[in-house]
Homo-oligomer: A and B are copies of this chain.
């Protein structure tokens, strides 16, 4: 394991110059820097992590607190974990995993031992125990998702309410008079407080636009396709021509199959918009308009905010909402003239 003094010797400079050349915290002449970089490359030097932490009081490690509840949607979680880790690496940070059975204790431990510079919290529940720990800790903490009580916290999320409004508006603009919502399972409404915000925003906006709204929460995906199909049938019977979907990929597929079974085409007879999904609505048999929840966006923002906090720069505590982006895929069309 090659050390900094070997690099210094090889480059014919002092240890401190090597350190500065690598960190860029002090100007180093072009020629000297070149020699140092050559030596670094030559010897395959990378600074000892422990020594760096100790001397620099920065670890370049984030903790990712990721409670894996039995009912969480694995593919979405993976996307977020992955996006977060990649975003961190782009900023030279590594990612340490904190599991659920360890969430509270783990957050304390990594903070107290100075193992990490900041904590990133995924899969935030409305009533999340980690909120209190974050408040009690001096370690910068960013929530991806929004707990009910987010006073003084830094939270990142998609702006679901505006996304929903946008979705309703698109349908209204296309002349649709009745809109239906296919939401997630009942459990989803306890796990996160956004499904209910979507539902509320939809009702409100539909009313404002003079539409009638029918909202339905779908049952647990795999075990209860029939409930989703029932909802779709009810929509059709009630003259709903616009559907807003806030649910996983599997549910969309059931919806599409059922519509086809009822002889309804998309967007010929029924228009669909997906809100806040993190799967690719473009890769569906029928591409679907979407206002996606893009893990990369949330995660990059979260990482940037963490870095600001670490640097001691001011960050507005409160909600950092990501503006929705509407992706047209041709699944919204004017309502058929009855």
Spell out A's residues near B (CB within 8 Å). Answer: 1, 44-54, 57, 59, 61, 64, 68, 74-75, 77-78, 81-82, 85-86, 89, 94-97, 99, 101-102, 106, 109-110, 112-115, 222, 250, 253
Looking at A64, A94, A106, A109, which has the most chain B CB atoms within 10 Å of its CB? Answer: A94
Q: In the complex, which residue of chain B has the Cβ closest to the Cβ of A78?
A: B74
Q: In the complex, which residue of chain B has the Cβ closest to the Cβ of A81?
A: B97
Number of identical protomers: 2
A89 to B64, CA, bound (A): 15
> A50 touching B59 by the CB < 8 A rule?
yes
> Please, which residues of chain B bring their CB within 8 A of the CB of A96?
61, 94-97
Q: In the complex, which residue of chain B has the Cβ closest to the Cβ of A57?
A: B50
> Please, which residues of chain B bring their CB within 8 A of the CB of A86?
99, 101-102
> A49 touching B253 by the CB < 8 A rule?
no
> Please, which residues of chain B bring their CB within 8 A of the CB of A106?
89
A156 to B234, CA, bound (A): 52
> A97 touching B112 by the CB < 8 A rule?
no
> A89 touching B99 by the CB < 8 A rule?
yes
> B46 touching A253 by the CB < 8 A rule?
no
Whether A50 touches B53, Cβ cut-off 8 Å, given contacts A96-B95, A96-B96, A99-B86, is yes
Minimum CB–CB distance from A9 to chain B (whole Å) comes to 19
> Please, which residues of chain B bring their CB within 8 A of the CB of A44?
112
> A114 touching B78 by the CB < 8 A rule?
no
Whether A1 touches B112, Cβ cut-off 8 Å, given contacts A51-B54, A54-B51, A96-B97, is yes
User: 17 A-B pairs, CB-CB below 8 angstroms?
Assistant: A1-B114, A46-B113, A49-B53, A50-B52, A50-B57, A51-B54, A68-B78, A74-B77, A74-B78, A77-B78, A82-B99, A85-B99, A86-B102, A94-B97, A94-B110, A95-B97, A222-B250
Q: In the complex, which residue of chain B has the Cβ closest to the Cβ of A53?
A: B50
Whether A113 touches B47, Cβ cut-off 8 Å, given contacts A78-B78, A99-B86, is yes
